[in-house]
A and B are shown apart, each in its own frame.
Chain A
Amino acid sequence: GNSVTQMEGPVTLSEEAFLTINCTYTATGYPSLFWYVQYPGEGLQLLLKATKADDKGSNKGFEATYRKETTSFHLEKGSVQVSDSAVYFCARGAQGGSEKLVFGKGTKLTVNP
Chain B
Amino acid sequence: EAQVTQNPRYLITVTGKKLTVTCSQNMNHEYMSWYRQDPGLGLRQIYYSMNVEVTDKGDVPEGYKVSRKEKRNFPLILESPSPNQTSLYFCASTSRQGGGTEYTFGSGTRLTVV
Contact = CB atoms under 8 A, between A and B. Distances in A.
Interface of A: 4, 32, 34, 42-44, 46, 49, 51, 89, 91, 93-94, 99-101, 103-106
Contacts of B42: 4, 89, 103-106
B97 to A, nearest CB: 9
A106 B90 CA distance: 15
B41 interface: yes
Given A42-B107, A43-B90, A103 B43 contact: yes
A48 B31 CA distance: 21
B106 interface: yes
B92 A101 contact: yes
Given A100-B58, A105-B42, A51 B33 contact: no
B48 A93 contact: no
A106 B103 CA distance: 18
Contacts of B92: 101
Contacts of B50: 99
22 contacts: A32-B100, A43-B90, A43-B105, A43-B107, A44-B43, A44-B90, A49-B100, A51-B99, A51-B100, A89-B42, A91-B43, A93-B100, A99-B31, A99-B94, A100-B45, A100-B58, A101-B35, A101-B43, A101-B92, A103-B35, A103-B42, A103-B44
A89 B43 contact: yes
